[in-house]
Structure 1
Amino acid sequence: MKKDFIKVTEKESNYDELDKMSIHTILKSINKEDQTVPKAVEKSIPQIKNLTEKVSEKLKNGGRLFYIGAGTSGRLGILDASECPPTFGVSKDLVIGIIAGGDKAIRDAVEFAEDSKTQAWEDLSTHQINKEDIVVGIAASGTTPYVIGGLEACKQHDILTGCITCNPNSPLAITADFPIEVKVGPEFVTGSSRMKAGTAQKMVLNMLTTTAMIQLGRVQGNRMVDMQLSNKKLVERGINMICQATFVSKNEAQENLEKHKSVRAAIKAIQNEKN
């Protein structure tokens, strides 16, 4: 561990006597801290760009994106991965989230799961991971053994790596080929990195996969034309997208959507008819 490495996320909160604050003061104070997160993310855009380019390249060439993390970080990776198929119509095997402790850890803390330096590679190996893929480790602290060990093993197998952390110069950032360091500072509740650090990680994940999916052609204009039509709200959204893109009536849009089962296909069919 580098001598100049300091866990900024673990430093004493800028606030004290939280238990004596009014509800209004607590909420205002949390909100004040949260407002610093987008600025911290903005400063990391050059790093985010570097990793996003590599993710996009790997996905375009048939590879997959894996997230590995523990606790809040692991859950955020799983959340982002699980939202890609319904939003962009991609396979559930394109973006995969893995959490220390397995599926049980999504809801319940699994004691000491994050302390193994070998388990992440074992978890990744069940997916027949290879050098066509890319692995992003997520850890606010930048010191989680599960995540660091996973990236170290990936590098030994010539698998490209990235990371998202909130402490500069961390062991995780040093290990990753393409690190992202979002320096959010101390948390409102000392050490509770589910707060600002978690918000920062979610913002970066949104940027990473949304940009990659746009690069893959999964968005037309500004529309999610490949989204899964899994409920009435989304069907209605799909109909509206078709109307906006082709200027047909809602009835005609609905008929085409029912026929083609896809917003993209319905738009293309209508446009072909008009031409």
Structure 2
Amino acid sequence: MKRLFSCIRAVLFLMPLTLAACSSGGDGGTTTTAPTPAAVFVCNGPVPAALGAGTNPGGASLSTPRFAYVSNEDNTLSMYTVNAGSGNLRANGYVLAGRSPGELVVDPGNRFLFVPNTGDDTISVFLIGVTDGSLTEIAGSPFPAGIEPSPASVDPRGRFLFVGNTGGNNISVFQIAPGSGALFQAPGVGPFAAGQFPVALTVDPTGQFLYVANADSNDVSAFRISAATGALTPLAGSPYAACETPVSIAMDPQGRAVYVSNLNSGTV
């Protein structure tokens, strides 16, 4: 189920985005279609079939327009170089991660790749090679996490890593060491309660708020982020009702709206 969510989150952005109210039932409501991005690298998406990936590829991430990474259920990360003109990928081998690596996230400076490992409750951290996109695991990695960590998000300034623990129904907050990318938690900071099965996270462009899609409780948790420690404080009214099985969440670049895709109701 977790691996399915990883694919669904990204695949949704390969199609025109349709917005519909929960009560519309998919017809009769007002809909808006957004433009489709030129290229999104998801699971095996635009990857030429001859390249392949690891076993049951899941989460995917672009560090820059130059490099792409895919997590695989054989506990590896596939590495690719992106052709700037065509968007095609060239395979660059693989590295080992923890057990059942899930969603991948890159810091805003494109220096570090963070990998929650759902199968062993850890987070692997890799230094990204500037010239070739190679991955080198940093000292101290993997770092202890909560129960079944899966979704992750980094604040816009690259100071905090937020990780949803799908087995613990909470959010862990890690401070990121600026030079090394090492993760540590301030005493008494987290984990913070979320809804049931927090499967997707997003931070607003200002870094002040975190939004969490909770798949099993059909709602969205919203938090204010402490600029000092990354600690989370629930906003008034949180959690907010969503449609059935929200599995993906994203915010527009201006921070004016949050979009939530709902798997079982077929709505956004």
Which has more strand, going by share of residues? 2
Structure of higher CA gyration radius: 1
Which has more helix, going by share of residues? 1
Higher relative contact order (CA 8 A, sep 6+): 1
Same fold by TM-score, threshold 0.5 exceeded? no
TM-score scaled by structure 2?
0.27
TM-score scaled by structure 1?
0.27
